[in-house]
A and B are shown apart, each in its own frame.
Chain A
Amino acid sequence: MSEIQENGLGAVETKARLLDLKSLDSPKAMKLYRRFDGIIILILFMFLILGVQIQFTLTAGDWDYWIDWRDRRWWPLVAPFSLLLFIAPFTYGIWARVRLPIMATAVTLLLCLVSWLSRYLNFHEFTHFPLSFVFPSTYIGLGILLDCALAISRSLLVSSLVGGGLFGALVYPINWSFMAPYKVPVEFNGMLMSVADLMGYQYIRTTTPEYLRIIEESTLRTFGGSVTPLTAVFSALCGMVIYMIFLWVGSWINGLDKYTKRIV
């Protein structure tokens, strides 16, 4: 007790902290703590699902809805940008308070689960697109890398540079196994295109902006080429920067666990 009092804590706070420590030996208290943890995790994760769904669908959703939109220039840039922006404030909060490097994995896993459910219910059942045309991309591996960078380095700065960079750079490779069959070249009415393009032509999206006009601007279309690694490097840079900026936003928000005077 004397050590705590030497740290400048008042008698009441000292007593409360000692009680907190002693309650860890109480099976009754531990049972309630565990129950409490379970409920908090459930609530937080369900709200995270809503948050990441709104964030991702309204900033990068188009590139994730359709297989022919997963191009080599915009999709590997906007998807990690959108996700890192959302992950960073939660990572800061959970890392600063309870030292758990889990939020990137949690957010990407939750996004994967809700996206599969949503694509099935909304794009397949409701508007009758084939699931093979609208299945979501995966980002779970990127989340694990980001969390590992934090767990190993124990530094938000290093994890921004290494984890944020990898998160941005590896979108295309980590999804390649899903996408490869759709990138096979085919000839249709004398035109050379990919299987994904062909599906896009066949399944009419009456109000979706035309793919070629919006996505593939000003370059000769290829089936990969140098644009892919160049985009990955730029995406890595963007990943580092956006992750750092929103970690800072997270530090500001997490300092606001305050009360203010009532106005009325």
Chain B
Amino acid sequence: MALENTQPVALDAGNDSKLAGHFKRNRFAYTFSAIIIAVGAALRIYLDTMGFTVGTDYYSDEFQKYWMPVLYGELIILGSFTIGLSTYLWMTRETDASSISKELELSRYWKLLSIFTVMAVWAGCIASNAVESDAAWHQVTIRDTDFTPTHIIIFYFALPALTAMLIPAFIWTHTRIPAFMNKISLPFLAVVCGILMIMPNYGFNEWGHTFFYAEELFAAPIHWGFVFLGWSLFFLIPLAMQIIGQMARLIAETTTEDLGQSA
């Protein structure tokens, strides 16, 4: 039988106060949310400080010195993280779903919600910080190439980071939770693919921009590819229903054992 700490499923942890118990139960979500918020804040401060001072001309020495290393660093970190973690999760996958107890299964659903919480926090950071920073930037500067400070952050870090979390989360879910094992959840796949395909869509965007560098209508048709792929978030409702259905039943089974016997 698979063994793992099922602490998160406990209602209240030992003698902890209500608040301490809350933080203890949700330490994964709080810790990783704090880390990504710190990373996002650091990048934002760098953009505010170095964007207009050394970031307006891709061909300048300053740009090569202060912005291209950021781009290379982002690509290396996110690439390594996604490939490394995905490989690890696949190599350490569960092979026997029947060995997973109901308590462990429920604790893994709580862990899945923690993972989604971290991704949701990052989604909020992208929405409030990144998306319109590109709009504001392009409407006051002349576009030179696709390597501009706002693109280096939103195209090569913010959105890829969401993908870098979604892909391992998809693998973890499909190799650890019995309801998802040996099959594929269509709505989960649609969410992952939609966000992932935003990156190849950069190609369409940049190709379209080769026709006009000087104007930046943000509602231009060449940006609609991003909109279409963003519609993959419509699949969150059926995905939530899959998770809710399974979790509700597990909660009923694990907390009303005595009733379960009599039913």
Contact = CB atoms under 8 A, between A and B. Distances in A.
Contact of B234 (A16, A42, A89, A258): A89
B124 to A, nearest CB: 5
Contacts of B263: 15, 18-19, 22
Nearest to A205: B139
Contact of B252 (A29, A53, A204): A29
Interface in B229-251: 230-231, 233-244, 247-249, 251
Interface stretch (A159-167, A171-179, A223-231, A247-255): A247-255
Contacts of B51: 126
A33 B142 contact: no
A221 interface: no
Interface string B208-247: 0000001111110001101100110111111111111001
Given A58-B219, A127-B140, A122 B135 contact: yes
A49 B127 contact: yes
Given A46-B123, A207-B141, A253-B237, A23 B251 contact: yes
Interface residues on A, range: 35 or more
Contact of A209 (B133, B217, B223): B217
Contacts of B223: 58
A46 B36 CA distance: 15
B259 A54 contact: no
Interface in B14-43: none
A62 B219 contact: yes
Interface in A230-264: 249-250, 253-263
A51 B247 contact: no
Contacts of A93: 234, 237-238, 241
B238 A257 contact: yes
Contacts of A258: 186
B143 A32 contact: no
Nearest to B248: A20
B121 interface: yes
Interface in A1-35: 15-16, 18-20, 22-23, 26, 28-29, 31-33
Nearest to A250: B234
A36 B47 CA distance: 37
A1 to B, nearest CB: 9
Given A23-B251, A122-B133, A262-B183, 12 more contacts: A19-B249, A19-B252, A19-B256, A22-B263, A28-B256, A40-B240, A40-B244, A43-B120, A58-B226, A62-B219, A78-B219, A256-B235
Please list the 10 inter-chain residue pairs (A to B) with the smallest Cβ-Cβ separation, ordered nearest first: A93-B237, A46-B120, A257-B238, A23-B252, A50-B123, A53-B127, A51-B233, A29-B255, A54-B230, A259-B183
26 contacts: A15-B263, A18-B263, A22-B252, A22-B256, A22-B259, A23-B259, A28-B255, A33-B248, A39-B113, A43-B116, A44-B240, A47-B119, A51-B233, A53-B127, A57-B218, A61-B219, A65-B135, A65-B139, A65-B218, A78-B219, A97-B241, A121-B129, A204-B140, A254-B237, A254-B238, A257-B187
